[in-house]
Amino acid sequence: MKTKKINVKTVKFFDIICLTDKVKTFLQENNCQNGLINIFTRHTTVAIRINEKEDGFFKDLKRVVFNDIANPEDDYHHNDLETRDPATLCPINGEECLNGHSHVGQMIMGATSETIPVLGGEIQLGRWQEILLWELDHGRDRKVIFSFVGE
């Protein structure tokens, strides 16, 4: 197995970082030929998804997920600091993040990882597919792990 940890700096809520070229470089540098590549993050307010890299789609997804379903202006039990488990508190700049919408949005978007076949040294993405990291909270440093299993 070959692995690599990378840092990704997001700037703002719903920042979208394309990881496709970084994954391809990792595969080339490690002479990965046939197997599976997994792209994983340990964060619960980030999603890693495969989809088209197109601004209209990004606007639609943000509207549907964060206006219609997980609106930041809605009330969330996760944001009630008097009832929340203190072990889950994560102060940013001295204040707790009120990010219930980010956790709900991540569950709706549905993934902290993607696994993709690699054949003949090439990642098997479709014509329009890209590996995208979506920031669902505020901008910060994020960690992503690439793991290749195969030959």
Model pLDDT for residues 11-57, shown as the tens digit of each residue:
999 999 999 999 999 999 999 999 999 999 999 899 999 999 999 99
| Amino acid of residue 131 | I
Whether this prediction's pTM lies above 0.85 is answered by yes
Question: What b/e sequence results for 99-127 when a residue is b if at least 16 CB atoms lie within 10 Å of its CB, and e otherwise?
Answer: bbbbbbbbeebebbebeeebeeeebebee
CA distance 127 to 129: 6
CA distance 128 to 116: 15
Mean pLDDT of 46-75: 90
H/E element holding 105?
Answer: helix 100-109
pLDDT: which is higher, 98 or 2: 2
| Model confidence band, residue 106 (pLDDT cutoffs 50, 70, 90) | confident
Beta bridge partners of 133: 17, 48
Mean pLDDT of 75-88: 81
Average pLDDT of every residue of the chain = 90
| Amino acid of residue 12 | K
Q: Which of 104, 132, 149, 143 minimizes the C-alpha distance to 48?
A: 132
Q: Which of 119, 109, 126, 128 minimizes the C-alpha distance to 148?
A: 119
Asked if residues 146 and 26 have their Cβ atoms less than 8 Å apart, the reply is yes
Residues in the chain: 151
Asked if residues 30 and 123 have their Cβ atoms less than 8 Å apart, the reply is no
| Amino acid of residue 150 | G
